Structures are given as structure tokens and as C-alpha cells.
Amino acid sequence: MKNRILWQNLHIVMQLGLTIAGSVVFCFFVGRYIDQLLGLRGIFTTLFILLGIVGGAVVAYRQIQTVLADDRKPGDEGNDE
């Protein structure tokens, strides 16, 4: 049982890391493509990397909220007596 919880937590952490890294890498290549297309020197690459970081963080936050909501059991609210 303890190993199962460990693997579930490891899965969540890996999923969050891959989500953030994937969005940053994807946005990097989109920005790089636009820069090459327009003949610019990294303006869109920098902009899209920042957007990838923010977007990845938002998606990771939503994933964390979903996991936390799944962990809460119905009827737990207000039972802090």
C-alpha cells in the first residue's frame, strides 16, 4: 500500500514537470519559427518562452487543484470538531 502511494505521488510530480517543460519547449520552437520567418533576433522566442512558462504554470496549477479535489472525500467539510 505504501509503494502505491509513492508511485501515485511520483506520477503526479512527473506529470507536472512534463507539462511545464512541454509547454515551454513547444512555445520556444513556435517563437523561433516566427523569428526566422520575420528575420528577427529572438523577440518572439523570448516572448513565447515567457508565455510557455506562464501557460505551463497555469495548467500545472489546475492539475494540482484537480488532484486535491479528488483527495477530498464528500462530507469532510465542516467536520473539524
- pLDDT at residue 42, rounded to an integer: 94
Judge whether 52 and 5 are in contact, CB under 8 Å: no
Where do the structural domains in the chain lie, given as residue ranges? 2-70
DSSP string over 14-36: HHHHHHHHHHHHHHHHHHHHHHH
Instruction: State pTM to two decimals.
Output: 0.79
Q: What is the pLDDT of residues 22-58, one digit of tens each?
A: 999 999 999 999 999 999 999 999 999 999 999 999 9
